[in-house]
Amino acid sequence: MNAAVDALGALPSLLAVAIAALVSAAITWTSRPLLQRYALARPNARSSHRIPIPQGAGIAVIAATLLVASAWAAWANVAIPPALIAATILIALVGFADDIVSLPVLVRLVLQAAAVGAVVFTAPETARIAPALPLALERGLILLAGVWFVNLVNFMDGLDLMTAAEVVPVTAALLLLGLLGDLSWPAALIAAALCGAVLGFAPFNKPLAKVFLGDVGSLPIGLLLGWCLLELAWHGQAAAALLLPAYYLADATITLFRRIARREQFWSAHRSHFYQRATDNAFTVPQVIREVFVLNLVLALLAIVTVRAGAIAITLLSLLAGAIAIGFVLRRFSRTQAS
């Protein structure tokens, strides 16, 4: 038992983050020539770039995450659900195929639902968020939420370093909660490895990006991140699980409903997200990323406060503070930046 605790302490966690970063950076570097030849992302209605950029570096991020997390889990005698590993590989393959040949929307959704469903419906029956609901209904709602979360992470990956500005603060907070004993170790391991892998990818994606994640990266990142947040909710910390990704949830969901209300083809490529509109309103890409990163740090702090305080009043105040902070940033992004 002591050996397992030692293998899951702060120092091994930082080492895992560093190793995942190095592995991710090495694979990204070596794969760039192939991606340049076979997987160019050409500018479209959704793009923020003006020239073709190689995409598909998500292969490096996901490979580094799974390799490091699996090796660390084996060393520490921690079980990462096999369904999660299989589902991550499946959804990465779906993303890779879509990066190359552009799959039909229905095919993508069915395969994504299969991957999310494999994770959700193989979880223990004791893993509950709302025990008052029938298990089948709760799992069905989680499935729908999971498919939406996977896609919104993909939708929000439309600006250089945007995914890093989201994933790094969220996974760092999840790792800290794991170290504090408020999150299962399998989820903490995945969070640590994913944090490192995204950090390793980030230098290649900083403005102006040399390479993009592609769907092969954003979709499985959404699945892994969503599972970690679900584990947090299953541990009785639903408020924290909501606060951590709250900016992504707000930007993507509000944008979706606005497009539906306008009777637009909401499933087609667009530039209606708040962060995209910010660049049209004279914000530079570094400004947008900086504000999103700081906002996510605030949300991560509020999430940790709700977990550690354990008081309903503190939780409600943290949720309110998070909503106000998100509203402030979204409002800024919606207005033209003063020159």
Q: What are phi and psi of 42, to 5 degrees?
A: -90, 145
With a cut of 80, say whether residue 42 has pLDDT above it: no
> Mean pLDDT for the chain?
92
In a domain, 109, yes or no: yes
241, part of any domain: no
Query: What percentage of residues in the chain have a pLDDT greater than 70?
Result: 93
- Domain contains 139: yes
pLDDT at 267: 64
Give the three-state DSSP class for 270: coil
Asked if the structure places residue 217 within a domain, the reply is yes
Is the pLDDT at 22 greater than 90, yes or no? yes
Residue 16 has a pLDDT of: 95
Q: Are 259 and 272 in contact (CB under 8 A)?
A: yes
CB 3 within 8 A of CB 179: no
Q: What is the CA radius of gyration of the chain?
A: 19
253 is a domain residue? no
Please state the rounded mean pLDDT for residues 196-208: 95
DSSP H stretches of helix in 206-245: 215-234, 238-243
Is position 58 within any domain? yes
Domains: count for the chain: 1
Of 183 and 2, the structure prediction assigns the larger pLDDT to 183
Amino acid at 114: A
Cα 266 to chain centroid, rounded: 21
Is 260 domain-assigned?
no
- Name the pTM for this structure: 0.93
Q: Domain containing 158: what range? A: 2-236
**H or E element in which residue 41 lies:** strand 40-41
CA count, 13 A, side-chain hemisphere, 307? 28
pLDDT (tens digit per residue) in 113-159: 999 999 999 999 999 999 999 999 999 999 999 999 999 999 999 89
Give the Cα separation of 322 and 292 in Å (integer): 13
Alpha-carbon distance 183 to 30, whole Å?
35
